[in-house]
């Protein structure tokens, strides 16, 4: 579609209300926060037009800002800033969140129907998810853009710095904001703020941060991002096919495992046999329910750890084999393993960085999968109904972001590849058998 016109109506800063208490002015970052890529987690929530939204925009605008201010009182590190002289802490100084309102000279259907373009979606965000500054303290931690479409619909774009929030924490924030806007004030700040430094103490982060920045920079070159739709019935058929392929037939993959195995297998098929000996699939695993005691579901931070599934390059790799490898890699993420791995993670990253420099990029192909499935994005009702569509807009090569479809059965996969690789993927017979590029008209 043609580039839509976005007119900024207002820009302001929203601060927590009430203000953050003096004894809460410092939020400590854990090792996993330090390892987070230097990007924003971008979320886009689309809401259908209603008469109330059309006729009372000013009232809803004020309501959103007031409820955001109240929510920030509980999520107060999101209104702070990273300290210049200390990469391990956030100064909870109530600097505030950036809040932008924009008028979109297009109907919402022009954006969300058919094949949404990531360049268009990024214009509905308050900042570039990959925006970088030499001084991290100059970046806002939370930025929001409320977009009003000509048809009366609305899209709320949220960008949260990955240094303080993984996808689970981002989902907790937007859901809590929506509940506050709807008049439900049941947020317990103790469920939001949890000090993970006792579990995963921070370390000298200079090399670690440089490693992550290099990864992000490498992932931006010649990258295109497209959405692949996996209908619930097609996923069910794929899961059954994978189960039947197994000798024992006792393992039934989850939706995420099945779709990930399909995409991973297709990416392997792009490579020439023997050119790259090993393929790696990386999966961040939410640790909140794994640790003992269980951590609060709402707690912010990067409380996840990446697990890796590996597969040697073969001509005909079965989806059941790849799904099994993915399942086993996730299954081994138990508390004892996580704690032990955290102790040596710094050393492992440094070694990985050195090995890459020695061996070059042809040593292996790494694909990162980030599953947002089962996070409550579709429950974010601010008072005028639940979102009709939830999207994201992070463009990175070899990154797959998986989201629930609006029916809670299907999966939408945003995949980043080079233009040449994307052309191959769009023509892959296995992908074409299970995925589509446009929503069903039925």
Residues 187 and 213 grouped into a single domain = no
Residue 135 designated active-site: no
User: What is the rounded average pLDDT of the residues 53-74?
Assistant: 92
361 pLDDT higher than 60 = no
Rounded to a whole number of angstroms, the distance between the first and last alpha carbons of the chain is 23
How many angstroms separate the most distant Cα atoms in the chain?
63
Per residue in 109-134, pLDDT (tens digit) is 988 877 789 999 999 999 999 876 55
- What CA–CA distance (Å, rounded) separates 430 from 266? 7
Residues 170 and 230 grouped into a single domain = no
300 pLDDT higher than 70 = yes
Residues 139 and 219 grouped into a single domain = no
Residues 185 and 229 grouped into a single domain = no
User: Cα-flanking dihedrals φ and ψ of residue 333, to 5°?
Assistant: -80, 75
407 pLDDT higher than 70 = yes
Average pLDDT, the chain: 86
Task: Note whether residue 386 is domain-resident.
Answer: no
* Structural domain boundaries, residue 90: 6-198
Q: Where are the beta strands (DSSP E) in 112-188?
A: 142-149, 154-161
207 pLDDT higher than 70 = no
Nearby residues of 311 by Cβ (< 8 Å), 6 or more positions away: 264, 268, 278, 279, 281, 317, 321, 322, 325
In the set 110, 128, 381, 428, the catalytic residue is 381
Which of 168, 198, 228 terminates a domain? The answer is: 198
DSSP state of 301: B
Least confident among 19-28, 266-275, 302-311: 266-275
Q: What is the DSSP string of 216-284?
A: HHHTTTTEEEEEEEE-HHHHHHHHHHHHHHSSS------HHHHHHHHHHHHHHHHSPTTTS-EEEEEEE
Residue 162 designated active-site: yes
Which of 178, 198, 218 terminates a domain? The answer is: 198
Task: Note whether residue 233 is domain-resident.
Answer: yes
Question: What's the CATH number where 291 sits?
Answer: 3.30.559.10
Paired tokens of 270: 């792009």
Cut 0.95: pTM above it: no
Residues 159 and 242 grouped into a single domain = no
Residues 217 and 163 grouped into a single domain = no
74 pLDDT higher than 80 = yes
Per residue in 214-245, pLDDT (tens digit) is 666 655 657 899 999 999 999 999 999 998 88
Task: Note whether residue 381 is domain-resident.
Answer: no
In the set 33, 74, 94, 162, the catalytic residue is 162
Which of the four pLDDT bands, split at 50, 70 and 90, describes residue 357?
A: very low
Least confident among 215-229, 240-254, 303-317, 375-389: 215-229
Percent pLDDT > 70 in the chain is 83
Which of the four pLDDT bands, split at 50, 70 and 90, describes residue 355?
A: very low
Residue 192 CA, distance from chain mean position: 19
- What CA–CA distance (Å, rounded) separates 414 from 407? 17
């Amino acid at each position: 579609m043609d580039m839509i016109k976005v007119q900024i109506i207002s820009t302001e800063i929203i601060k927590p209300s009430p203000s953050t208490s003096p004894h809460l002015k410092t939020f400590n970052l854990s090792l996993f926060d330090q390892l987070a890529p230097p990007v924003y987690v971008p979320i886009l929530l689309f809401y259908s037009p209603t008469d109330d939204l059309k006729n009372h925009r000013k009232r809803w605008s004020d309501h959103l800002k007031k409820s955001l201010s109240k929510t920030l009182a509980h999520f107060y590190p999101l209104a702070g800033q990273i300290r210049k002289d200390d990469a391990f802490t956030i100064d909870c100084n109530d600097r505030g969140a950036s809040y932008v309102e924009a008028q979109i000279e297009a109907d919402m259907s022009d954006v969300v129907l058919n094949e949404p373009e990531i360049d268009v979606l990024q214009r509905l965000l308050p900042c570039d998810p990959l925006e970088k500054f030499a001084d991290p303290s100059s970046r806002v931690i939370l930025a929001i853009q409320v977009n009003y479409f000509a048809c009366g619909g609305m899209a709320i774009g949220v960008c949260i710095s990955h240094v303080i929030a993984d996808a689970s924490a981002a989902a907790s924030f937007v859901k809590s904001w929506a509940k506050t806007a709807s008049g439900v004030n049941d947020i317990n700040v103790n469920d939001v703020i949890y000090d993970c430094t006792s579990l995963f103490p921070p370390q000298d982060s200079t090399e670690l941060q440089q490693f992550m920045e290099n990864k992000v920079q490498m992932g931006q070159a010649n990258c295109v991002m497209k959405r692949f739709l996996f209908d619930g019935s097609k996923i069910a058929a794929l899961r059954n096919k994978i189960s039947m392929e197994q000798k024992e037939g006792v393992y039934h993959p989850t939706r995420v495992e099945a779709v990930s195995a399909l995409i991973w297998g297709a990416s392997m098929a792009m490579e020439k046999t023997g050119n790259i000996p090993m393929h790696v699939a990386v999966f961040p695993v939410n640790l909140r329910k794994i640790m003992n005691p269980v951590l609060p579901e709402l707690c912010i931070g990067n409380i996840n750890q990446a697990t890796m599934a590996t597969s040697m390059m073969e001509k005909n790799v079965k989806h059941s084999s790849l799904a099994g490898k993915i399942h086993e890699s996730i299954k081994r993420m138990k508390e004892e393993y996580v704690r032990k791995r955290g102790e040596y993670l710094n050393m492992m990253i440094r070694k990985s960085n050195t090995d890459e420099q020695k061996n070059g990029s042809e040593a292996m192909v790494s694909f990162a999968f980030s599953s947002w499935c089962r996070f409550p994005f579709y429950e974010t009702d601010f008072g005028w109904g639940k979102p009709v569509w939830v999207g994201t807009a992070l463009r990175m090569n070899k990154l797959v972001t998986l989201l629930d479809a609006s029916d809670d059965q299907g999966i939408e996969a945003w995949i980043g590849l080079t233009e040449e690789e994307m052309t191959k993927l769009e023509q892959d017979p296995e992908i074409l058998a299970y995925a589509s590029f446009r929503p069903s008209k039925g």
